């Protein structure tokens, strides 16, 4: 969200009795038009917050849109508020989806706003303030079945896995959906196939520091997922990869196979 | 403001007894050199905060500059602190300008800083901390008449309005100064003239979602002002427009007139 | 730090009993791969915080790295937590380095995390939460001798100083390590030699406003250090300079000497 939009939401929270001492801002700089990456990040960012948390998500394509605003109660405790476009779903599954309710603006007890609404400011923030004060989600509107969205699953292949990039962080590191624990303990090298990088071999290391400057490599990210990085560089640029790019990783326990490269002999021109 | 600068202001607020539980950060990423856009955004961001708020604005060209620091009391309650360069003025008018005072550094009760000052850290933040604790603005310096700046007014024209871009948000949407309520209810299409876009016809829609990917259109923004956007794209790039760019919007209630496009018949070359 | 990473640290702080009312975020947008600039900025940002502060620094190359996590007690009161790569050292010296301790994860009383750790989330934040609640650093691990890093010292030269750029702020201003107080009071012009700018003469002004649009000049920055700036422009682009770029400033009290430029007479070609 741009700054003016976030500020207006904070004002709406304060108007609802939720001051800055109770607000944690997770992120404003999510990619502008991607529900997939936002859903992944929201789950990763929000999973560790305490049971009495109300999470509010606004993902861009819906600003001013006509998707229904919803509130989702979870078994773990947190309540999720946002547009019913799937962005809340992976976090809801993670925390245990209990019930979802549509949020009807008139139930928020505020004078309706004339003209185009900004759901974050006019619906989500006021609803979140009420929920933070103990109001039940069921009082905000009728029960509903939320739109589902599932972060794509990786697929095991012989000596490897097929998956995709689910997040590029601000350093250009590519976080895949392939769990680090899928990679056998003994693996030290693996082979990557993604976009431009056809069967590129790389080291599987345990820290960024182990990657020489400019060297491509893979490591276990802090998300518990395999990440492709370049030492002090941007893997996303190097591989021209981004969220959704297909990734195939293959490895062998002892040593990776040498890829045979048949160099076509070019006959020299005679003079 | 860059990060180190904002951090130093937060330290100054804490030194003045205003901890993080009472600070709301509105924005750090305003365009570096534009009082006009900052004044617009400050008004939009700050108008909904409660009466006991002290707003502090630092706009870049004045960092270390010699413009007087001022505090403005408003009828609505909030006190505005910042440079006397006009950036506070539209918000002050919105909240009802009551009285303005110059801030004299010695009145802040801190040892004067040797060398170049950074007004945000050395004057605005300490003054804001005092005002937040109930000190009257009139005790900080003599009454003064603040520099005025008015956000440009739109002008009605037959079947339309002439205005300008007052904000480009981080998605490249162009927010104009033309109120959405000026557009007749029945309007579904309008014509835009701005920069490169000479008489471009576009849909007037109610949400971003209604715009096909890459399609230019207009809608009522959450600011209550007509906004020009591109579905999942950047209108500012498409139209090469920015803050200050002139905009003419014309419309007809039923259906927009077809612009006659005389295609010049190019005779084919004979072979 | 990218957003998801910062959010995970906030969750870890909350889990440790440190809510948003007690957290001040200094900066997320430090240059991705520079301990030198981060160490400078941390010192400048953090020096003015109160004695009961716990400062946490995560600098990128070490995310997931094998550098030891440390906690440094200072005479001024604040405790510094972060990687032992030198980034904490200049601030520690500024606040008076008392004792440093290694942080042993098992001492944090949390179940060890399986797989790759993210020190900011898994070690620094939990340690900071304990320290904020009064736990002594000496209980977290054995005493250690922290890795030192010293921000480079400027060197006086006849009528001037030799130094380097220690920070480029988001406006492209170049902050050098040459103290403003080294420049004689009467100086109004000086000569800069840095990168492409061989012996460029410029005004020494007291505010950005004094610089005409596009004009290069020097001024005393709010860091107390000489800064090179371009009026409403980016000095870093103009001079192709960045952190680490060498800078030589020379001046004379009354008037700067005219640099004799012997233009080599190119004989014209005869026709």
HSE-up of C65 (CA within 13 Å, CB side)?
A: 18
In angstroms, rounded to a whole number, what is the distance separating the alpha carbons of residues A101 and B238?
A: 39
Helix (H, G, I), strand (E, B) or coil at B222: coil
pLDDT value at residue B88: 96
* B250 and B244 Cβ atoms separated by less than 8 Å: no
- Those residues of chain C that have pLDDT short of 50 are 1-2, 62-64, 255-271
Helix (H, G, I), strand (E, B) or coil at C154: coil
pLDDT value at residue B262: 35
* A23 and A11 Cβ atoms separated by less than 8 Å: no
In angstroms, rounded to a whole number, what is the distance separating the alpha carbons of residues A203 and B208?
A: 44
Give the H or E element holding residue A218: strand A216-220
- Structural tokens at position B176: 């104009």
Closest Cβ–Cβ partner in C45, C50, C209 for B14: C50
Decide if A112 touches B, using CB distance below 8 A. no
All residues at 6 or more sequence positions from C112 whose CB lies less than 8 Å from its CB, including other chains: C105, C106
Decide if B62 touches C, using CB distance below 8 A. yes
Helix (H, G, I), strand (E, B) or coil at B69: strand
pLDDT value at residue B3: 65
How many A/C residue pairs have CB atoms within 8 Å? 94
pLDDT value at residue B184: 81
Note whether C117 contacts A221, CB cutoff 8 Å: no
pLDDT value at residue C195: 64
Decide if B115 touches C, using CB distance below 8 A. yes
Q: For residue A166, which of A149, A178, A182 has the smallest C-alpha distance?
A: A178
Touching subunits of A (3+ CB pairs, under 8 Å) are B, C
Closest Cβ–Cβ partner in C10, C60, C114 for A24: C10
In angstroms, rounded to a whole number, what is the distance separating the alpha carbons of residues C122 and B1?
A: 31
- Structural tokens at position C234: 């980016």
Q: For residue A183, which of C67, C116, C63 has the smallest C-alpha distance?
A: C116
Residue of C nearest to B115 (CA): C224
Q: For residue B177, which of B187, B186, B185, B166 has the smallest C-alpha distance?
A: B166
In angstroms, rounded to a whole number, what is the distance separating the alpha carbons of residues A95 and A44?
A: 11
Q: For residue B209, which of A144, A10, A83 has the smallest C-alpha distance?
A: A83
* A218 and A204 Cβ atoms separated by less than 8 Å: yes
pLDDT value at residue B64: 47
Helix (H, G, I), strand (E, B) or coil at A107: helix
Spell out where chain B has E strands.
Answer: 54-56, 69-74, 79-83, 97-102, 143-144, 155-157, 160-168, 174-179, 189-194, 197-205, 216-220, 225-230, 246-251
pLDDT value at residue C144: 97
All residues at 6 or more sequence positions from B95 whose CB lies less than 8 Å from its CB, including other chains: B47, B74, B75, B76, B77, B78, B80
Note whether C65 contacts A29, CB cutoff 8 Å: no
Residue in the structure block whose two tokens are 């006397």: B84
All residues at 6 or more sequence positions from B83 whose CB lies less than 8 Å from its CB, including other chains: B57, B58, B59, B62, B65, B67, B68, B69, B70, B119
CA distance B157 to chain C (A): 36
Note whether C24 contacts B20, CB cutoff 8 Å: yes
Decide if C26 touches A, using CB distance below 8 A. no
Q: Which of residues 201-260 of B touch A (CB under 8 A)?
A: 206-209, 219-224, 232
Q: Which residues pair with B204 in a beta bridge?
A: B218
* A251 and A202 Cβ atoms separated by less than 8 Å: no
Bridge pairing between strands C174-179 and C225-230: antiparallel
DSSP structure string for A229-265: EETTB-HHHHHT--TT-EEEEEE-SS-PPPPP--PPP
ipTM of this predicted structure: 0.78
Q: How many helices and strands in chain B, by DSSP H and E? A: 6, 13
Decide if B30 touches A, using CB distance below 8 A. yes
Residue of C nearest to B119 (CA): C222
pLDDT value at residue C2: 44
Decide if C167 touches B, using CB distance below 8 A. yes
**pLDDT tens-digit profile of A126-162?**
999 999 999 999 999 999 999 999 999 999 998 899 9
Closest Cβ–Cβ partner in B46, B208, B224 for A65: B208
Q: For residue B246, which of B115, B152, B137 has the smallest C-alpha distance?
A: B152
Helix (H, G, I), strand (E, B) or coil at B201: strand
Please give the C-alpha separations between residue A140 and each of A104, A116, A125, in angstroms, as whole numbers: 6, 21, 13
In angstroms, rounded to a whole number, what is the distance separating the alpha carbons of residues C37 and A196?
A: 34
Q: Which of residues 136-165 of A touch C (CB under 8 A)?
A: none
Q: For residue B216, which of B230, B196, B197, B234 has the smallest C-alpha distance?
A: B230
In angstroms, rounded to a whole number, what is the distance separating the alpha carbons of residues C10 and B262?
A: 62
Tell me the pLDDT of chain A (271 aa) as tens digits: 346 788 889 999 999 999 989 998 887 766 655 888 989 999 988 988 999 999 999 875 544 456 889 999 999 999 999 999 999 999 999 999 999 999 998 899 876 665 567 888 999 999 999 999 999 999 999 999 999 999 999 999 988 999 999 999 888 899 999 999 999 877 888 888 876 656 788 999 877 778 888 999 999 888 899 999 998 889 999 988 889 999 999 987 654 444 433 333 344 444 3
Q: Which residues pair with A162 in a beta bridge?
A: A155, A248
Torsion angle of the four alpha carbons C214, C219, C222, C224, in this order, in degrees rounded to the nearest 10: 150
All residues at 6 or more sequence positions from B263 whose CB lies less than 8 Å from its CB, including other chains: none
CB contacts, 8 Å: B20 with chain C: 20-24
Q: For residue A123, which of A146, A140, A139 has the smallest C-alpha distance?
A: A140
Note whether A3 contacts B206, CB cutoff 8 Å: no
In angstroms, rounded to a whole number, what is the distance separating the alpha carbons of residues A220 and A71?
A: 34
Note whether B170 contacts A3, CB cutoff 8 Å: yes
- Those residues of chain B that have pLDDT short of 70 are 1-3, 29-33, 60-66, 111-116, 195-198, 253-271
pLDDT value at residue A261: 39
Closest Cβ–Cβ partner in C181, C207, C209 for B115: C181
Residue of A nearest to B223 (CA): A116
Q: For residue C159, which of C95, C28, C253 has the smallest C-alpha distance?
A: C253
Neighbours of B2 (CB within 10 A): 19
Note whether B7 contacts C46, CB cutoff 8 Å: yes
CB contacts, 8 Å: B118 with chain C: 222
* B66 and C207 Cβ atoms separated by less than 8 Å: yes
Burial status of residue B123 (CB atoms within 10 A of its CB: 0-12, 13-18, 19 or more)? buried
- Structural tokens at position C76: 């001024």
């Amino acid at each position: 969200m741009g700054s003016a939009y976030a500020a207006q939401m904070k004002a709406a929270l304060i108007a609802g009795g939720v001051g800055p001492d109770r607000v944690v801002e997770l992120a404003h700089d999510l990619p502008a038009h991607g529900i997939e990456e936002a859903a992944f990040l929201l789950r990763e960012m929000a999973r560790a917050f305490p049971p009495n948390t109300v999470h509010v998500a606004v993902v861009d394509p819906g600003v001013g849109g006509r998707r229904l605003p919803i509130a989702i109660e979870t078994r773990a405790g947190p309540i999720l508020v946002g547009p019913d476009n799937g962005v809340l779903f992976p976090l809801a599954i993670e925390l245990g989806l209990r019930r979802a309710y549509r949020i009807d603006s008139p139930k928020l007890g505020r004078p309706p706003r004339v003209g185009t609404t900004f759901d974050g400011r006019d619906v989500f923030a006021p609803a979140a303030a009420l929920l933070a004060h103990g109001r039940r989600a069921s009082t905000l509107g009728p029960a509903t079945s939320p739109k589902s969205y599932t972060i794509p699953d990786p697929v095991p292949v012989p000596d490897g896995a097929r998956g995709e990039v689910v997040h590029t962080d601000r350093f250009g590191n590519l976080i895949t959906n392939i769990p680090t624990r899928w990679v056998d303990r003994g693996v030290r090298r693996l082979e990557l196939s993604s976009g431009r990088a056809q069967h590129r071999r790389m080291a599987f290391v345990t820290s960024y520091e182990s990657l020489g400057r400019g060297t491509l490599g893979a490591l276990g990210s802090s998300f518990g997922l395999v990440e492709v990085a370049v030492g002090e560089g941007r893997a996303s640029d190097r591989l021209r990869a981004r969220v959704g790019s297909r990734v195939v990783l293959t490895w062998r326990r002892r040593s990776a196979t040498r890829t045979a490269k048949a160099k076509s002999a070019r006959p020299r021109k005679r003079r």
